[in-house]
């Protein structure tokens, strides 16, 4: 199968037909005549998701989407047949017999989310509802080379699939080796950054390469030949056709691979520091690790694991997870948030995820959100990006010397610049460093924004500052949403 219109894999393509001729797009966003099934099905699926265990009736689905009752009946019948929806009981109606309510079946599909930080790996397995089924945490040195990093990702993915889905584990999981623990427990993770490792550059900028391997093959040796034709995974911002459940998980994956025995697994989302190209899944000069420049991470993982892979920046993934979860506010009747917020992530680095109108803003080259590298002090201390006086360098230096008040003030200065430039509604703070001292950072950043608001004399007050929900695994959960969100019509952005 090939990518349609430059987009997601084609699975079960078709149309949802509704009422007679002349029915157009309703106010709720539903399209009754010859619209792609994926659009209308996504609308219904998202309402089933947001309704939770209490469920929602077909009549309510029709009212909320603008689809005809006939169209809703066809969609829900198909979803029930595919195991994605089921009855959740009956609800009293204002007249006539009680209404049957439907709910999503969370276990009908799963996604893996991996957060590759500079010194550790966090991975989660989530169901369609976004609930974490299993998780892993292990030390990782992002500078050790591609083959080592890919092996750790594959190990974590296989163990999570085996533990959370009961899928046949691949050879790595069968060995039981490595730092990842079984079950919901976590391996002890390094609290300090790992030691930068070796791994010279192979052909085509492959970290840790060992000769002129095939382009995109980690550590290739010899000339090699191109592998089999690859089925490309869904890309954030593109529509994914319906036909979820087992058919989606099985049809939308490349042949072979270590995770082929996980029938409900939709794929793997990987989030890591930028810059990178999320459309092609290719890394650029990752800050502090320039040897990754040009490495095709998506392709390499797809070949290794045999499931669709989506790659994005850690801050974008976290922001997507927050938007899907409604953390940005502004949720309307249909469950879709239309708020605008900035997620500021302070951990081993500093970056931002931007959400406008409920959608993640990546920019034409995935360059949006490089928040940490705005210069706020000319001729200031050097930054790992090559510039001087960046917010990231000043903030991390203050953290290193234990001056959290100064770190929060610097972070607040950058946040105030962002709020003034973009007129956002909310600032959310996250990352390991923030999680270690949440009050200090929330209060410190808020103080800077309050001072700016007083100077400007606005009547609406300062932009509120809050701690992002999700804790230290928020990026990993957001990485899983890179696969799940498009299924519910929530993956669009620019």
Q: How confident is the model at residue 329 (pLDDT cuts 50, 70, 90)?
A: low
pLDDT given for residue 185 in this prediction: 37
Taking the C-alpha atoms of residue 478 and residue 134, their distance in angstroms, rounded to an integer, is 15
3-state secondary structure at position 269: strand
Instruction: Count CB atoms within 10 A of the CB of residue 421.
Output: 9
Residue 275 has pLDDT above 70, yes or no: yes
* Res. 186 pLDDT band, cuts 50 70 90: very low
Confidence of residue 493 (pLDDT cuts 50, 70, 90): low
Q: Identify the band that residue 60 occupies on the pLDDT scale cut at 50, 70 and 90.
A: very high
Query: Do 492 and 278 form a contact (C-beta atoms < 8 A)?
Result: no
pLDDT at residue 255 in the model: 61
Tens-place pLDDT, residues 372-387: 999 999 999 999 899 9
> What is the rounded CA–CA span in Å between residue 66 and residue 476?
34
Q: How far apart are CA 109 and CA 111, in angstroms?
A: 7
Given pLDDT bands bounded at 50, 70 and 90, which one contains residue 202?
Answer: very low
The answer to whether residue 318 scores a pLDDT higher than 70 is: yes
What is the radius of gyration, based on Cα positions, of the chain?
23
Average pLDDT, the chain: 78
User: Quick check: 311 and 298 in contact, CB under 8 A?
Assistant: yes
Judged by average pLDDT, the poorest of 16-20, 129-133, 139-143, 351-355 is 16-20
pLDDT band for position 175 (cuts 50, 70, 90): very low
Tell me the per-residue pLDDT of 78-91, one tens digit each, with 9 for 90 and over: 999 999 999 998 88
Phi and psi angles of residue 358, each rounded to the nearest 5 degrees, phi first: 85, 0
Higher pLDDT, 344 or 17: 344
Predicted local distance difference test score (pLDDT) of residue 167: 60
SS3 for the chain is CCEHHHCCECCCCCEECCCCCCCCECCCCCECCCEEHHHHHHHHHHHHHHHHHHCEEHHHHHHHHCCCHHHHHHHHHHHHHCCCEEEEEEECCCCCCCEEEEEECHHHCEEEEEEECCCEEEEEEEECCCCEEEEEEEECCCCCCHHHHHHHHHHHHHHHHHHHHCCCCCHHHHHCCCCCCCCCCCCCCCCCCCCCCCCCECHHHCECCCCCCCCCCCCCCCCCCCCCCCCCCCCCCCCCCCCCHHHHHHHCCCCCCCCCCCCCEEEEEEEECCCEECCCCEECCECCEHHHCCCEHHHHHHHHHCCCEEEEEHHHHHHHHHHHCCCCCCECCCCCECCCEEEEEECCCEEEEEEECCEEECCCCCCCCCHHHCECCCCCCECCCCCECEHHHHHHHHHHCCCHHHHHHHHHHHHHHHHHHHCCCEEEEECHHHHHCHHHHHHHHHHHHHHHHHHHCCCCCCCCEEECCCHHHHHHHHHHHHHHHHHHCCCCEC
State how far the Cα of 426 lies from the Cα of 319, in Å rounded to an integer: 12
pLDDT at position 9: 32
Longest CA–CA span in the chain (Å) reads 75
Among 168, 127, 172, 160, residue whose Cα is nearest residue 261: 168
Residue with tokens 């249909």: 334
Average pLDDT (190-211) is 33
Segments in 121-265 forming alpha helices (H)? 146-165, 171-175, 245-251
Identify the helix (H) or strand (E) that includes residue 265.
Answer: strand 265-272
* CA distances (Å), origin 249, targets 49, 77, 259: 19, 20, 11
pLDDT of residue 488: 92
Per-residue confidence (pLDDT) for residue 95, from 0 to 100: 67
CB within 8 Å of 436: residues ≥ 6 apart: none
Say how far apart CA 4 and CA 144 lie, in whole Å.
Answer: 36
Count of CB atoms situated within 10 Å of the CB of 417: 16
Mean pLDDT of 264-289: 93
Q: Which of 41-45, 153-157, 337-341, 442-446 has the lowest mean pLDDT?
A: 337-341
Q: Which is more confidently placed, 162 or 177?
A: 162
At residue 76, does pLDDT exceed 50?
yes
Distance CA 475, CA 113 (A): 8
Mean pLDDT value across residues 469-493 = 90
Q: Which residues pair with 125 in a beta bridge?
A: 112, 134
Question: pLDDT by residue (tens digit) across 215-261?
Answer: 333 333 333 333 333 333 333 333 333 334 444 555 555 666 778 77
pTM of the model: 0.76
pLDDT, mean of residues 96-113: 92
- pLDDT, tens digit, for every residue of 401-458? 999 999 999 999 999 999 999 999 999 999 999 999 999 999 999 999 999 999 988 7
403 vs 383: CA distance, rounded Å? 18
Q: What's the confidence (pLDDT) of residue 250?
A: 53
**Residue 209, pLDDT score:** 36
């Amino acid at each position: 199968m090939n990518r349609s219109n430059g987009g997601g894999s084609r699975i079960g393509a078709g149309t949802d037909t509704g009422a007679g001729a002349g029915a157009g797009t309703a106010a709720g966003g539903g399209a009754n005549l010859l619209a792609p099934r994926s659009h209308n099905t996504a609308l219904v699926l998202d309402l089933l998701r947001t309704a939770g265990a209490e469920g929602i009736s077909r009549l309510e689905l029709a009212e909320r989407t603008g689809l005809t009752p006939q169209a809703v009946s066809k969609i829900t019948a198909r979803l029930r047949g595919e195991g994605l929806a089921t009855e959740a009981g009956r609800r009293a109606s204002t007249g006539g017999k009680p209404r049957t309510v439907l709910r999503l079946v969370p276990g009908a599909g799963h996604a893996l989310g991996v957060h590759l930080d500079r010194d550790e790996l966090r991975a989660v397995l989530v169901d369609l509802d976004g609930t974490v089924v299993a998780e892993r945490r292990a030390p990782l040195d992002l500078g050790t080379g591609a083959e080592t990093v890919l092996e750790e990702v594959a190990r974590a993915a296989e163990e999570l699939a085996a533990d959370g889905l009961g899928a046949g584990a691949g050879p790595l999981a069968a060995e039981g080796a490595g730092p990842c623990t079984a079950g919901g427990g976590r391996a002890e993770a390094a609290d300090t950054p790992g030691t930068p490792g070796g791994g010279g550059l192979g052909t085509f900028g492959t970290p840790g390469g060992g000769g002129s391997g095939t382009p995109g093959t980690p550590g290739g040796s010899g000339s090699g030949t191109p592998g089999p034709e690859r089925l490309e995974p869904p890309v954030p911002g593109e529509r994914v056709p319906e036909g979820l459940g087992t058919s989606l998980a099985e049809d939308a994956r490349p042949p072979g691979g270590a995770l082929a025995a996980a029938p409900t697994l939709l794929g793997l989302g990987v989030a890591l520091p930028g810059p990178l190209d999320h459309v092609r899944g290719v890394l650029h000069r990752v800050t502090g690790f320039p040897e990754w420049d040009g490495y095709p991470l998506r392709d390499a993982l797809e070949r290794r694991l045999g499931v669709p892979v989506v790659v994005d920046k850690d801050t974008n993934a976290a922001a997507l997870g927050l938007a899907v979860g409604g953390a940005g506010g502004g949720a309307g009747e249909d469950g879709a948030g239309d708020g605008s917020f900035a997620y500021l992530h302070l951990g081993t680095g500093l970056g931002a995820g931007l959400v406008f109108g409920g959608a993640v803003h990546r920019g034409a080259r995935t360059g949006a959100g490089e928040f940490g590298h705005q210069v706020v002090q000319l001729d200031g201390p050097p930054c790992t990006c090559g510039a001087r006086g960046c917010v990231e360098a000043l903030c991390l230096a203050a953290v290193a010397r234990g001056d959290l008040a100064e770190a929060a003030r610097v972070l607040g200065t950058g946040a105030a610049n962002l709020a003034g430039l973009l007129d956002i509604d909310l600032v959310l703070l996250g990352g390991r460093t923030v999680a270690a001292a949440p009050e200090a950072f929330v209060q410190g950043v808020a103080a800077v924004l309050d001072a700016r608001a007083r100077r400007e004399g606005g009547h609406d007050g300062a932009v509120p500052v809050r701690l992002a929900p999700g804790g230290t695994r928020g990026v990993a959960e957001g990485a899983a949403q890179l696969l799940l969100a498009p299924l519910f019509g929530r993956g669009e952005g620019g």
